[in-house]
Amino acid sequence: DAKTTQPPSMDCAEGRAANLPCNHSTISGNEYVYWYRQIHSQGPQYIIHGLKNNETNEMASLIITEDRKSSTLILPHATLRDTAVYYCIVRSPNFGNEKLTFGTGTRLTIIP
């Protein structure tokens, strides 16, 4: 699976949009971009995933560049409960490749 690069930490004011970048310049054509987050002392939580097109769900939006070498997770109206470590993971959908490999992630702190 392709390697990802994320900033180690970010701050965002409560109520503002939090934009978390991720570089995955070696991504292959069939690899998906997944985002998870981990709130302190809890298990990781799935947020969103995408292949080429931008995606939106009730939690967040995912913007993938046209060349697919980077993406941005957007939390549209950040709340204090969004303070967590956010992991960007690239994963192949191929049968037999079930592993999810975590990188170092971005520690997002929402400021009141």
Minimum CB distance to another protein smaller for 64 or for 105: 105
CB closer to another protein out of 21 and 32: 32
Q: Which is nearer to another protein, 18 or 86 (CB)?
A: 86
Q: Which of 2, 10, 51, 74 binds another protein (CB under 8 A)?
A: 51
User: Counting contacts by CB under 8 A, is residue 64 touching another protein?
Assistant: no
1, 32, 63, 72: which one binds another protein (CB under 8 A): 32
**Helix (DSSP H) and strand (DSSP E) numbers for the chain:** 0, 9
Tell me how crowded residue 60 is: count the other CB atoms within 10 A of its CB.
19
At 26 the three-state DSSP class reads coil
CB of 54 to another protein, least distance (A): 15
Is residue 103 within 8 A of residue 22, CB to CB? The reply is no
Beta carbons of 106 and 89 less than 8 angstroms apart: no
Q: Which residues in the 73-92 window bind another protein by CB under 8 A?
A: 87
Instruction: Name the burial class of residue 107, with classes exposed (0-12), middle (13-18) and buried (19+) by CB atoms within 10 angstroms of its CB.
Output: middle
Q: Which residues bind another protein (CB under 8 A)?
A: 30, 32, 34, 36, 38, 41-46, 49, 51, 87, 93-105
